Amino acid sequence: MSTQHLSEQEIIRREKLQELQKLGIDPYPAPLYPVNITAEKIKQEYKGEENKADFADVCLAGRIMSIRDMGKASFAKMQDSTGSIQLYIKRDEICPGEDKTLYDKVWKHLTDIGDIFGVKGYVFTTKTGETSVHVTELTFLTKSLKPLPIVKEKDGETFDAVSDPEFRYRQRYVDLIINPTVKDTFLKRSQLINTIRDFLNAQGALEVDTPVLQAIPGGAAARPFITHHNALDVPFYLRIANELYLKRLIVGGFDWVYEFSRNFRNEGMDRTHNPEFTVLEWYTAYKDYFWMMEITEQLFEKIANTLHNSTKVQVGDKEIDFKAPFKRISIYDAIQEHTGFDVSNMNETELREVCKKLNIHTEASMGKGKLIDELFGNKCEMHYIQPTFIIDYPVEMSPLTKKHRSKAGLVERFELMVNGKEIANAYSELNDPIDQRERFEEQAELLKRGDDEAMYIDNDFLRALEYGMPPTSGIGIGIDRLVMLMTNQPSIQDVLLFPQMRPEKTGE
């Protein structure tokens, strides 16, 4: 016996389902339905008398979103994956014989908003000038048992869209049906990813896959999710980054590799953080971070132009221009500019003092690198609205980065800041295995001090470096944050189809 609690509407819909079955209509038929056109294609290409012959035999399918009953005829709105179109349904045309059950009973009494139909017919223009499909054949394809939230529409404008984020993120499938702009965000997301792929492939880069389950979580400073592999009887970690695997491939002889990596970090959730997220990382042999800045500018300019036909993108009340070149400033200069403190020669104790003066909370486990990171994060990053490369980080902040060619104590690294947030992080990669081992050992000391984001020592990666990795530049770009920017969405949850949420408490 089902324990599902049904509303009055849901009970009525189930009764209609039984009625359909009694009439011999399968509300969930198996055969292919021969769709040959979309709502959008009809609206874009139908020109009335001049090409109506091309639209004399259309077949489309979709969800019924509204019905206007006029007795022996009806108008309805059908929505497919591309948009919606008006249907005109005349009783005597879909029921040419004596039996009018299909119209009088099935269409008028057993059909609900949300049901999915297939229609065949021809395209015409109504007296009010609306391109519509004159239906000659109607097929029930799916009975909807749950009513959709009502969304009002007038003159193509949506009013009263469902805006409750709890409902929208948890039931994204409904959000996509009733809020037309939501689908557009995800189409743009796909377009953005394809633009990056095309750009990299055209440059000769190779797309690869690396493990999501890792024996050692490496390549970033983050707290991992831990799982257990039963057959091997060992703990595994969900990937926090794919960096160390991609670098192994550079050792192996590939000159340029990239991966759209699904990463997992067991950390807080907010408007720019989700525990599961997508990062693009690529590594290119014989390049440095100056080259990487230039190619990153080219890529971002191309993405903006592809999605918006302009380098200028509206983000909230700001206009952000991705026209190259972007501004460059060192992290120490940025901190001095926004706090008045020159921290370039300070030790850990002095940095703690500065944080204290600026009311920045610190933990005993934080080393010099973390303290500088807190200073920049709390006092500087929000000021960089236009694309800005923050460059030349202290060595303590960057355990995988090559030491600066001319500035002692610094590394060749940049972070790209846009709209006050980090969008990309890039290095001239560390390829000295002895230096890398020492940096890993320093990280291991931080782990002992209680820093659960410090890096583990990856001996296999060190072994790979000992075979020789060519000079390499690498970058990580947060795809979700980039999509937020390029689609003007304020929250990461709005660019993830299924963001993480607490499990529902209901039994359904």
363 known member of a binding site:
no
422 known member of a binding site:
yes
**Which DSSP helix (H) or strand (E) runs through 346?**
none
Residue 307 and residue 255: Cα distance in Å, rounded?
29
Dihedral sign of CA atoms 350, 355, 359, 361 in order: negative
> Which tokens in the block code for residue 303?
């993405």
Side chain identity at 364, as an amino acid letter?
A: A
Side chain identity at 496, as an amino acid letter?
A: L
Rg (CA), the chain: 29
Residue 395 and residue 305: Cα distance in Å, rounded?
36
Q: Which residues pair with 319 in a beta bridge?
A: 314
374 close to 366: Cβ distance less than 8 angstroms:
yes
Q: Strand ranges (DSSP E) for 7-99?
A: 58-69, 73-80, 83-90
List Cβ neighbours of 184 (8 Å cut-off, separation of 6 or more).
487
**Could you give the C-alpha distances from 56 to 34, 36, 48, 133, 355, in angstroms and in order?**
15, 12, 11, 10, 73
Residue 475 and residue 424: Cα distance in Å, rounded?
7
231 burial (CB, 10 Å; 0-12 / 13-18 / 19+) is: exposed
Residue 22 and residue 179: Cα distance in Å, rounded?
35
Phi and psi dihedrals of 478, rounded to 5?
A: -75, 105
Residue 251 and residue 474: Cα distance in Å, rounded?
13
393 close to 410: Cβ distance less than 8 angstroms:
yes
Q: Which residues pair with 17 in a beta bridge?
A: none
Side chain identity at 413, as an amino acid letter?
A: R
Neighbours of 457 (CB within 10 A): 16
Residue 134 and residue 121: Cα distance in Å, rounded?
5
Local structure of 427: helix, strand or coil = strand
Percent of the chain that is helix, strand, coil (3-state, to 5): 35, 25, 40
Residue 469 and residue 418: Cα distance in Å, rounded?
32
> Which tokens in the block code for residue 263?
């990463």
The DSSP-derived string for 194-219 is HHHHHHHHHTT-EE----SEESS--S
Binding residues for Mg(2+): 415, 422
As annotated, the binding site includes 415, 422
